[in-house]
Structure 1
Amino acid sequence: MTTQGETTMTTTTRTEAPELAGLPLLGSLLDLKNDSLGTFLRARRDHGDVVRITAGPPGLRRTVYGVFSAEGVQQVLAGESANFRKDNVFYQEIRESFGNGLLTSQDEDYLRQRRLVQPLFTRRRVDGYADAIAAEAETLLGEWREDRATTVDVLQDMTRLALRAVARILFGTDVDTAVRVVERSFPELSAYVLRRGYSPLKVPRDWPTPGNRRADAVHRALYEVCDRIIAERRAADRAPGDGDDLLTLLVEAESAEDGRFDATELREQVLVFLVAGHETTATSLGFALHLLGRHPEVQARAHEEVDRVLAGRTPGAADLDSLSYVTQVLKEAMRLFPAAPVIGRRAVAATRIGGITVPAGADVVVAPWVTHRHPRYWQDPERFDPDRFTPEAEAARPRYAWFPFGGGPRACIGQHFSMLESVIALAMILQRHRFETVDAEVPVAPGITLQATGPARCRLLPRTA
């Protein structure tokens, strides 16, 4: 008989998690601050699928349990999701900076928000945004043509493309203002959240330190642009149903059970969609182009499919199933460079995962960055190989060997939108260009999302077919 929370993957009689070695006074704090992704990889390689990691000086030390197997991830995110809450210090910092929207809310707040927002993200509704996505991709291609660009930083340009697309779909108008504010504000606020999350001693946010003052300024800038656009939209003299942008739909969202979003809730939802809504797409597209530039044989297969399926026309939502190899390229890019490389939770009650006891109140981390490289599920895991995502290969793997959108009841609500945008944009780009990678390796580090810490330049070569 197994206790509640114990899974069938138990292969050892050990009940206490092995601990990653660290410094006597600080534990693994410096390793996590300097290279958390490498630290989690090392923890799994040296100690297995459930590892205890301590960080911080005595008296302020925190213990994190890393869970790296697909089966363990499924237990945390899906099978026993009610026992693993978004209560850790990083989510609290994100909540303080970006509000209590879908990304950070919990319990009844989350359920109410999800019920109000879910009708806005049906497949049929999202497919209706294909033309807007294609228009923004065409704008970027026009800029490359006008600038006569020969070398581009694909991550920077895909971030701009994804941000403009989500702003256009969210707001309908005033895209440029929103894009400029987010471009300036998000990286600084993300770094601020990360610094505070790792700091054993936190200066109160209302103390007038230089860091707090800068964070407050960008925080206010984000809120102000959202508030202004929401106010303008609410003041517009339009009948219900006249607008199909997401903001109009959010303003009009209502149910007898859940009521409507008030002004604060609207702002927080808009901010989550604006900030988080472009990151997965930008990361997937940017690294897909970077990897295609390093693997010309894969790029040639993607070009062949795009030419055969589209024959020069602009792709739409109906083409997604036919652009199967382009989709495989994107999924493999998301395996190697997941936009959310680490996902945190906190255990409510003591739980056994793979035969290891995770105590009540413990911080728990599941890491796509690590599980997506787990040799149990991925042969030669650092190799770029889109054929890992044929239907047959996907069916042969555990469900949570690949989870770039999270999973369970808190899975990303916008995952179909992200895939739609990514496939359409990548297909349009490949219709016009070939890529040769200039920067063979792109250094990355986790923030709120995965961040490149160096350039991702590619030579841009026109195609004649």
Structure 2
Amino acid sequence: MTATRVPGPPGRPLLGSLLDLRRDPLGTYLAARHDHGDVVRFLIGPPGLRGELYLVASPEGVQQVLATESANFRKDNVFYGEVRASFGNGLLTSQDEDYVRQRRLVQPLFTRRRVDQYADAIGIETAALAARWAAAPDGVVDAADEMSRFALRTVSRILFGQDVEQAVDTVHEAFPVLGAFVRSRGFAPVRLPREWPLPGHRKALEAERSLYAVCDAIIARRAAEGVTEDREGEDLLGLLAKARDEDGNGLDATELREQVLIFLLAGHETTATSLTFALHLLGKHPEHQRLAHQEAAALLADGRRPTAADYPQLPYLTRVLKEAMRLFPAAPAVGRRAVAATVVGGVGIPAGADVLIAPYVTHRHPGHWDDPERFDPERFTPEREAGRHRYAWFPFGGGPRACIGQHFSMLESVLALAVLLREFEITAVDTEVPLGQGITLEVRGPVRLKLTRRQAG
């Protein structure tokens, strides 16, 4: 197929589309796909420093970037460089031999059998959350804040076991600061050196130091205690410390910290986002909430904590979660950089170009989703999923770098939703939620829910 010039918005004479992308990136992506098609070129920055960004919106193009030509689209862009600088070179950001080695070391810790053992930690934190909600003085909670804290405590308990309390407050305070810093630098046309003593730089550096310090302290104490051979029931940090490659080599203290930081980032912000919007949407759609409640209440009628074996018995709740992740994907846009010139969707993308794939856009593609803004969990029946393009829905990415924690995120979210819907009827107070884009999808306002305690039986 012959490549043609990629269409796109002209932007402003001085800064191109930079201000639009900083002010409302998600709306700008959607408008560009609507106006210009499935491959769109944005001009960004002032003349002389102007860059180009190519948005690929079709499932076929996404598959090309993530899977069939994944070697040509690398994590060499500015945004991943900023994430790497703040959070380290863990599984999310590493490449080439580093990534292959890390994936081989970590993969055995995320098998279904191993992840299913984390259900007890999920149950402990969900029970504590439900008890706190029952005591909410006015019966109103902010789902975004509550789910962020819940998901952070859950992944911290799985990572650190009994050391959960030592880590959670520091992480809760530091992550938003570093996320905002990464976002601002990722969209900046000029990035000043991080070591310059500017107010924002100092604040981010202090957050980074406190985050590193708490992780390093836990890792050092574990190393001083030594390790045992009993791997059953051990927290994830202990398992990471014991992991060895085929040459018998493991992760050193710095590598351990970098993996822990990436797991904390990816394992709590993404799940928190999915849970927030699943609850928000159910609070707006009582007919769907009624069906989800009936399923959860029937399965957990005796008031027990759910187990991993309950997860397959909650198909409607799983469909609700998947539909929430379609409308509000935790990673709304993902960047790559093209190594060599290529053709996507019949148009040319040059070597060295920044390329963006956006689940937020592709999940609304009118060629693959009827009435795409409507909340409809029945889109995810097995029959309808089987008839859909593999990359029409990809909240966990795809190809050789698909998210290693997909099963964990789904398990945690579905089990937590089951308990909360068994215990509470939920009504959305805020029917519209302003959004932004950072490392993950950002909520720019409250997501309040009115809780009504359900009567037993």
Please give the range of the TM-score, normalised by the shorter of the 2 chains: over 0.9
Q: Residue 3 of structure 2 contacts residue 343 of structure 2 at CA under 8 Å; is this kept in 1? A: no
Residue equivalent to 2:133: 144
Q: Deviations over 1:289-342 (max 9, x none)?
A: 110000000000101111222323322111111100000000001011110000
Quick check: 1:439 aligned with 2:430? yes
Match in the other structure for 1:113: 102
Deviation digits for residues 167-213 of structure 1, max 9, x if unmatched? 00000022123111111111111111111111111111111111111
- Listed one character per residue, the Cα deviations across residues 80-115 of structure 1 (whole Å, up to 9, x for unaligned) are 100000001000011111100001000000000000
Specify the code of the residue in structure 2 equivalent to 1:276.
A
- Residues 61-72 of structure 1: pairs in structure 2 closer than 5 A: 61-72=50-61
Q: Secondary structure at the match of 1:17?
A: coil
- Alpha-carbon distance in structure 1 between the residues aligned to 2:137 and 2:197: 46
Q: Supply the AA of the counterpart residue of 1:252.
A: K
- Spell out the pairing of 1:6-405 with structure 2 (5 A cutoff): 15-241=4-230, 244-257=234-247, 259-312=249-302, 313-405=304-396
* 1:257 Cα offset (Å): 3.2
Match of 1:5 in 2: none
Asked whether the 8 Å contact 1:116–1:258 carries over to 2, the reply is no
- Checking the alignment, whether the CA contact within 8 Å between 2:363 and 2:393 is kept in structure 1 is yes
Task: State the Cα RMSD in Å.
Answer: 1.2
1:147 CA displacement: 3.7
Tell me how many residue pairs correspond in the alignment: 454
Measure, in 2, the Cα distance between the counterparts of 1:388 and 1:270: 35
Structure 2 SS opposite 1:199: coil
Distance 1:302 1:49 in 2: 35
Q: Give the AA of the match of 2:108.
A: P
One-letter amino acid of the counterpart of residue 319, structure 1: D
- Mapped to 2, the partners of 1:142 and 1:40 lie a distance apart of 41
Aligned with residue 413 of structure 2, among 422, 440, 444: 422
Moved more, 148-157 or 394-403: 148-157
Question: C-alpha separation between the residues in 1 aligned to 2:276 and 2:248?
Answer: 39
Work out whether residues 294 and 436 of structure 1, in 8 Å CA contact, stay in contact via their aligned partners in 2: yes
Greater shift, 172-181 or 292-301, is seen at 172-181
Provide the rounded CA distance (Å) in 2 between the counterparts of 1:306 and 1:197: 42
> Helix, strand or coil: the match of 1:285?
helix
Q: 1:137 to 1:118 in 2, by over 3 A?
A: same
Secondary structure of the 1:458 match is: strand
On the 8 A contact 2:219/2:257 being kept in 1, the answer is yes
What is the Cα deviation at residue 274 of structure 1? 1.2
Unaligned 5+ runs, structure 1: 3-12
Q: Distance in 2 between matches of 1:183 and 1:303?
A: 30
How far apart, CA to CA, are the structure 1 residues paired with 2:193 and 2:264?
27
Q: Deviations over 1:378-417 (max 9, x none)?
A: 1111111100100011111100000101111111110100
Distance 1:391 1:210 in 2: 52
Mapped pair 1:409 → 2:400? yes
- Distance in 1 (alpha carbons) for counterparts of 2:149 and 2:248: 35
- Paired residues of 2:101 and 2:245 also in contact (CA < 8 A): no
Q: Aligned partners of 1:22 and 1:384: how far apart in 2? A: 33
Instruction: Please tell me whether the aligned partners of residues 292 and 298 of structure 1 are also in contact (alpha carbons under 8 angstroms).
Output: yes
Q: Measure, in 2, the Cα distance between the counterparts of 1:360 and 1:367.
A: 20
User: Any idea what SS the aligned residue of 2:293 has?
Assistant: helix
The normalised TM-score by structure 2 is 0.97
Check conservation: 1:182, 1:275, Cα contact below 8 A: no
Task: Give the Cα separation in 2 of the matches to 1:214 and 1:258.
Answer: 40
Using structure 1 for the length normalisation, give the TM-score.
Answer: 0.96
Distance in 1, matches of 2:61 and 2:355, equals 11
| Alpha-carbon contact 2:142-2:448 (below 8 Å) kept | yes
Preserved CA contact (<8 Å) 1:194 1:447? yes
Which letter does structure 2 place at the counterpart of 1:138?
Answer: A
Structure 2 Cα separation of the partners of residues 33 and 193 of structure 1: 13
Match of 1:321, SS state, is: helix
- The CA deviation string for residues 341-391 of structure 1, in whole angstroms up to 9 with x for no partner, is 000000011111111111111100000000011111111111111001000
State the Cα distance separating 1:20 from its structure 2 match: 1.4
Change (3 A) 1:149 1:138: farther
Q: Match for 2:453 among 447, 458, 462?
A: 462
Which secondary structure does the structure 2 equivalent of 1:374 belong to? coil
- Cα distance in 2 for residues equivalent to 1:186 and 1:310: 35
Aligned-residue offset at 1:258: 6.3
Q: Is the 8 A contact 1:437 1:458 kept in 2?
A: yes
SS for the counterpart of 1:405 is coil
SS at match of 1:125: helix
Q: Residue deviations 1:445-465, cap 9 Å, x none? A: 010011100000010011114
Q: Is the 8 A contact 1:112 1:258 kept in 2?
A: no
**Unaligned stretches of 5+ residues in structure 2:** none
Task: Name the aligned partner's letter for residue 355 of structure 1.
Answer: G
